[in-house]
Amino acid sequence: MSIKLIVGLGNPGTEYEHTRHNAGFWFLDELARQWKAVWKHEKKYFGHTARISRPEGEIWLLKPDTYMNLSGKAVAALAQFYKIRPEEILVAHDELDIPCGQIRFKLGGGNGGHNGLKDIQAKFGTPDFYRLRLGIGHPGDRNLVVGYVLNKPSAEDRALIDKAIEKSLQGLPLIMAGDREAATRFLHAK
């Protein structure tokens, strides 16, 4: 396992910047800050990208500008150009089915109704890419989901999500080293 592309899912624009659905962007912004990456807007990849040389090799960061429902368009454009296979991609995203502040890491699986994951799966024809699932909790009623993900979390919930992002970044070296079991143990521990 070697990760060559790390994608953060979210919606572009200031009106979405602080909404729960942008947890993947928050993760990627913090990673870019730590890695001293410089974002560049690239029309041909439909998003903001950064290219970093790491001991593991060259790694791309991508924040799609396509809005959540078309995330796969940006991921596929960059991945196909650089011949990055789905199993070399890590997608960080918000996850309703996980309590706020918890993290899950996995390869493949369903999309849980997440439109960003759905579109990436459709563009690649496979669910076999890595996911860093950042728990945002569930509003309790599926009719409230859209309003919930497109609104700001409470201060307490945002602090829990930020803590999860911090822990995810601490676990990232295990993911990058290809140690899936250790990464899973570390990230899933409370």
What are the boundaries of each domain within the chain?
5-188
- Residue linked to tokens 């849980």: 112
CB 6 within 8 A of CB 28: yes
| Count of CB atoms situated within 10 Å of the CB of 177 | 15
Residue 1 has pLDDT above 70, yes or no: no
How do residues 36-48 score in pLDDT, each as one tens digit?
A: 999 999 999 999 9
What is d(CA 171, CA 166) in angstroms, rounded to the nearest whole number? 9
Q: Is 45 annotated as a binding residue?
A: no
Instruction: Summarize pLDDT for 19-73 with one digit per residue, the tens.
Output: 999 999 999 999 999 999 999 999 999 999 999 998 888 999 999 999 999 999 9
Residue 53: per-residue pLDDT: 93
Binding residue per annotation — 67? yes
Catalytic residues: 21
Structure tokens at 122: 């459709």
pLDDT tens digits for range 89-105: 999 999 999 999 999 99
Task: For the chain, give the percent of residues with pLDDT over 70.
Answer: 99
pLDDT at 165: 98
Does 69 count as an annotated binding residue?
Answer: yes
Name residue, tokens 């459709």.
122
Alpha helices (runs of H) in 91-143, residue ranges in sequence order? 115-124
Taking the whole predicted model, whether its pTM rises above 0.85 is answered as yes
CATH class of 5-188: alpha beta
Is 140 a residue whose pLDDT tops 90? yes
Q: What is the pLDDT of residue 55?
A: 84
